[in-house]
Chains A and B, each alone.
Chain A
Amino acid sequence: MSDPKKPKRRDFLFTASYAIGAVGVGAAVWPLVDQMNPDSSVKALASTEVDVSSVEVGKSITVLWRGKPVFIKRRTEEEIAEARAVKLDDLKHPEKDEDRAKNPEWLVMVGVCTHLGCVPLGDKGDYNGWFCPCHGSHYDTSGRIRKGPAPQNMEIPKYEFINNNTIKIG
């Protein structure tokens, strides 16, 4: 009681108890939060193999990977040339087409608009690529955002050619 500002042993006990209590509550809450994350069975479906032998030049197929559509497009010479001719300065999210399509004939990308997750429509829009009907984002023949509210290019998933006819996504 003599000096109200000087911390007392009781203050130390209070602080220590609150700290331990907070850690305990945190440890109890974490499982309740973490259970909402993608579970093991969802993660187990992480890769898928696709036979692309029947895809003709200029056509594309859509496959489902981890619940999302993936566009596999066999591009024409003009489409490749158009994608490669774009200057990086003109892009909202600058990425070279060479980096997006290792094998220039094949463009493999997650067919989800980076704005709010709709599936864009193929061979549409001002840049001959994709157009998202939900909120009007235009993508070019490399799947790069050119106009509209989407902030980024459509995502390129991890994939590899197992042989000439088969792509493994994921």
Chain B
Amino acid sequence: MSDHSYVPSSKLGKWFNDRLPLLSLSAHLREYPTPKNLNYWWTFGGILTFCLIAQIVTGIVLAMHYVAQADLAFASVEHIMRDVYYGWLIRYIHANGSSMFFLAVYIHIFRSLYYGSHKSPREVIWIIGMIIYFLMMMTAFTGYVLPWGQMSFWAATVITSLFSAVPLIGESLTNWLWGGFAVDSPTLTRFYALHYLFPFLILGLVILHIWALHIPGNNNPVGIDVKQPSKDTVPFHPYIVIKDLFALLVFLTLFAFFVFYSPNLLGHPDNYIEANPLVTPTHIVPEWYLLPFYAILRSIPDKLLGVVAMFASIFVLVILPWLDTSKIRSAVFRPLYRQFYWILVADVLVLGYMGALPPEGLYLLITRVATAYYFIHFLIILPILGSKEKTMPLPLSISEPVLNGPSDIAKDNKTNTE
């Protein structure tokens, strides 16, 4: 790419760059050729980077006041809320920040699904992304335990008990995770250590995610390869930087609404009651962003199979690039996939809604149908669509749909896939 030819103008810069080419890296990031037809759904990568940094910064500050010990944790969170200067603000940003982070990541993932960003040659970007997503869930879960309220305690109990479904070693495995015979202070302390560790693992993986992205370059709404650099691309700076910043500002408006006007809307009132191992709240619900998986877990009447189904629902996403066999990336040119895509979106929303309701009667039936459909979509519909679907002709370049409209361009799909 163009950065190999980069030579710093100053003598000092050249001296440094010969020893550690950070200036070349910076030049690469500025000049990185980006398809000019990216829409606003492509701004969530930048928004997610912001979310990660905001969580790390507010998290480190909270760690200066929080105490990870069962007798003190709940009180130390109230201490942050009442005594620490701006503690309420920092904690509300951190707590709502996780919801905003997941909102952005879901949009980011569903953008990939719609425009086929997970397909060749971007499978590795996708898989790294899925590992990040899984680590995000682990981070969110361990973080949710830290305030040591009723929901914290019972969420920790229910989720760690998932491992008791493992045959033979289940019980010793859960005791090992707990550091005791139930969720207690040792559990809290180790969750805190892990909650501090995971974001930095995520940060490292984000760097790999972006590195892997910069090898083939961005996908785009048309989903065809663009020559880089060419008239089809614009430099990342200033074009994409400004667009990302504008999108971030809009996103921050929503973020600020939650933080300042309804900071507890996405939380659960039971978590303002200190953890009590003798009483389970009548209705345990995870945070909204985990509800679809929780619904899948509950839909199956067998403990082990329920846990297997829940993990399988994530794993099926990891192998998606090999399940979605269609050579055409963008749903714009896949009339059938486009419909199934929206059915999947609806299905996941239904699963999320059902995850918040008690698992009985009609709700349970709906959850089971939605769970079955989730797997059918990935394991049956996508492989069949890959061979049977009649796709629309692809344009020759990303400029052509703009200049001529998509209908009167080449019919030969082969020219665009190598």
A: residues with CB less than 8 A from B are: 36-39, 42, 62, 64, 66-69, 112, 115-120, 132-136, 148-151
Give the chain A neighbours of B159 by CB distance below 8 A.
116
Give the chain A neighbours of B282 by CB distance below 8 A.
133
Contact of B179 among A38, A119, A120, A134 (CB under 8 A): A38
List the A residue with the shortest CB-CB distance to B306. Answer: A149
Nearest-CB distance from B272 to chain A (Å)? 19
Bound CA–CA A117/B177 (angstroms): 14
In chain B, positions 144-180 with a C-beta closer than 8 Å to chain A are 154, 157-162, 164, 175-180
Nearest-CB distance from A31 to chain B (Å)? 14
Nearest-CB distance from A129 to chain B (Å)? 16
Nearest-CB distance from A109 to chain B (Å)? 14
Number of interface residues of B (CB under 8 A): 38
Tell yes or no: B250 within 8 A of A by CB: no
| A39-B186, A66-B180 given; A133·B175 CB < 8 A | no
Contact B303 A118 (CB under 8 A): no
Contact B158 A136 (CB under 8 A): no
Contact of A133 among B161, B178, B283 (CB under 8 A): B283
Secondary structure dominating the interface of A = loop
Contact A36 B161 (CB under 8 A): no
Name the segment of B24-32, B197-205, B273-281 touching the other chain: B273-281
Contact of A66 among B160, B181, B190 (CB under 8 A): B181
Nearest-CB distance from A147 to chain B (Å)? 10
Give the chain A neighbours of B359 by CB distance below 8 A.
135-136
List the B residue with the shortest CB-CB distance to A148. Answer: B301
Contact of A67 among B181, B281, B302 (CB under 8 A): B181
B: residues with CB less than 8 A from A are: 154, 157-162, 164, 175-184, 186, 190, 277-284, 298, 300-304, 306, 358-360
List the A residue with the shortest CB-CB distance to B187. Answer: A67
Contact B302 A117 (CB under 8 A): no
Give the chain B neighbours of A37 by CB distance below 8 A.
175-176, 179
| A42-B186, A136-B360 given; A149·B177 CB < 8 A | no
Interchain residue pairs A-B with the least CB separation, the first 5: A67-B182, A117-B161, A66-B181, A116-B161, A118-B280
List the B residue with the shortest CB-CB distance to A65. Answer: B181
Additional A-B contacts beyond A67-B180, A133-B280 (7; CB < 8 A): A42-B179, A66-B182, A116-B161, A117-B161, A118-B284, A133-B283, A149-B300
Bound CA–CA A36/B162 (angstroms): 18
List the A residue with the shortest CB-CB distance to B294. Answer: A135
Nearest-CB distance from B294 to chain A (Å)? 10
Contact B277 A68 (CB under 8 A): yes
Bound CA–CA A135/B161 (angstroms): 13
